[in-house]
Copies of this chain bind each other. A is one copy, B any other.
Amino acid sequence: MTEPTAPLAPGSTIGILGGGQLGRMLALAAARLGLKSHIYCPDAQSPAFDVTPLKTIAAYDDAEALRVFAGQVDVVTYEFENVPAATAEILAGLKPLRPGANALAISQDRLAEKTFLASKNIPVAPYRAVQSLEDLHAAVAALGLPAVLKTTRLGYDGKGQRVLRAPEDVEAAFAQLQPHPLVLEGFVPFEKEISVVVARGLDGTVRAFDAAENVHRYHILHTSTVPAAIPPGVEKHAAMLAKVIVVALDYVGVLGVEFFVLGGDRPTLMVNEIAPRVHNSGHWTEAVCLTDQFEQHIRAIAGWPLGDPQRMADVVMQNLIGDDVDVVPGGIDGDTQPHLYGKAEARPGRKMGHINRIVRS
């Protein structure tokens, strides 16, 4: 449909695909702005269902449920990038879908994402598309070992990838990883990982939050520390690259960009991946920014003016994974802002919440 450019009136309803913690935090932010949220999720136990009475429990490929949902909301957004293309197409035909379907198409396919980034002269790790075992052998010859073989779709938190360290790893990894095609990424000797959460409004305004320095454990984000310990020039460069990406995508909403920082006397950046949504490494914004990433996303997709991403204090965000959540409430102190997602069962590896801790200088 033709994209309306008028801002949504207070009292309008945001449709959110996905009922996890990101959808929940988006709904909380929408409520603060006087906007309602309608959560669409197949799982009847979704955490986001606790923060709004408006919900649809249905499969993402249920065309009739999608149509009814679209009829009850004023704009549609999502908390995860793996929204099926057919779902996006149905919804985008009925209501504004923000961010748009092109951002989904690119970010849910590693190969499309790298091709897009490279086409905009954004530095990425060297890569080769792998359709066949023959392709893989050629890619290994070109990029060397170690290298990482990844599925192009549905990979997250370390799932869907194998590290190839020696030639004898190649055939097993190719057989194990499904579905094909795959992509082989050359090894990047990075010193640290940072990320930038950037927003673009319906009017084209772009605002980036400060870069966070990220530490992972078991392939899951463990901490985000802000400010990142990187030279000011590198931080500015990261923000600039993030802005290039949202402009190139004609993007509306918040987008997360993960970077590798390569060391040496003159550190350089490579984009690891992008996520067309609010991002775990941006949860610190809730504690120390007048406008946090969730409100910024809602402002953007509602066609409202973007808020100021300026940071008021230094902060460390720590994910609470599985039993980590038992630190709340007994183990929190005054300098800590806990945020729990309302999940009943603390399974190992499950993101149960996070804490933001102010760092006093």
Asked whether any CB of chain B lies closer than 8 Å to the CB of A358, the reply is yes
Pair A304/B290 contact, Cβ less than 8 Å: no
The minimal Cβ–Cβ distance linking A19 to chain B, given in whole angstroms, is: 12
Interface positions of A from 304 to 334, Cβ below 8 Å from B = 304-308, 312-313, 325, 328-330, 332-334
Asked whether any CB of chain B lies closer than 8 Å to the CB of A32, the reply is yes
Residues of B within 8 A of A332 (CB): 304-305
Asked whether any CB of chain B lies closer than 8 Å to the CB of A256, the reply is no
Pair B33/A51 contact, Cβ less than 8 Å: no
Interface positions of A from 281 to 301, Cβ below 8 Å from B = 287-288, 290-291, 295, 299
Which one, B31, B53, B295, B329, contacts A302 given CB within 8 A? B329
Contact with B along A195-211 (1 / 0, CB 8 A): 00000000000010000
Contact with B along A1-41 (1 / 0, CB 8 A): 00000011011000000000000100010011110100000
Chain B residue at minimum C-beta to C-beta distance from A305 = B332
Binding stretch for chain B, among A141-149, A157-165, A337-345: A337-345
Which one, B8, B313, B325, B333, contacts A312 given CB within 8 A? B313
Pair B52/A10 contact, Cβ less than 8 Å: no
Which one, B11, B288, B342, contacts A31 given CB within 8 A? B342
Pair B358/A333 contact, Cβ less than 8 Å: no
Asked whether any CB of chain B lies closer than 8 Å to the CB of A69, the reply is no
Pair A340/B34 contact, Cβ less than 8 Å: yes
CA distance A343 to B229 in the complex (A): 45
Interface bin, chain A: 35 or more
Asked whether any CB of chain B lies closer than 8 Å to the CB of A100, the reply is no
Pair A36/B305 contact, Cβ less than 8 Å: no
Residues of B within 8 A of A55 (CB): 53
Residues of B within 8 A of A358 (CB): 290, 308
Residues of B within 8 A of A337 (CB): 290-291, 295, 307
CA distance A33 to B341 in the complex (A): 8
CA distance A225 to B328 in the complex (A): 33
Pair A305/B290 contact, Cβ less than 8 Å: no
CA distance A125 to B53 in the complex (A): 46
Pair B287/A287 contact, Cβ less than 8 Å: no
Instruction: Report if A330-B7 is in contact (Cβ < 8 Å); known contacts: A24-B31, A33-B340, A36-B342.
Output: yes
Residues of B within 8 A of A334 (CB): 207, 291, 305-308
The minimal Cβ–Cβ distance linking A360 to chain B, given in whole angstroms, is: 9
Chain A interface (Cβ within 8 Å of chain B)? 7-8, 10-11, 24, 28, 31-34, 36, 49-53, 55, 207, 287-288, 290-291, 295, 299, 302-308, 312-313, 325, 328-330, 332-342, 344, 353, 356, 358
Can you list 20 contacts pairing A with B, beta carbon distance less than 8 Å?
A10-B340, A28-B32, A32-B340, A33-B328, A33-B329, A33-B340, A34-B338, A34-B353, A36-B342, A53-B53, A290-B313, A290-B337, A290-B358, A304-B332, A305-B330, A305-B332, A305-B333, A307-B334, A307-B337, A312-B312
Contacts A31-B51, A302-B329, A305-B334 given; 12 further ones with Cβ under 8 A?
A: A7-B330, A10-B325, A10-B342, A33-B340, A34-B328, A34-B339, A34-B341, A36-B50, A290-B313, A291-B334, A299-B329, A308-B358
Among all A-B residue pairs, the 5 with the closest Cβ atoms: A34-B340, A308-B334, A304-B329, A312-B312, A53-B53
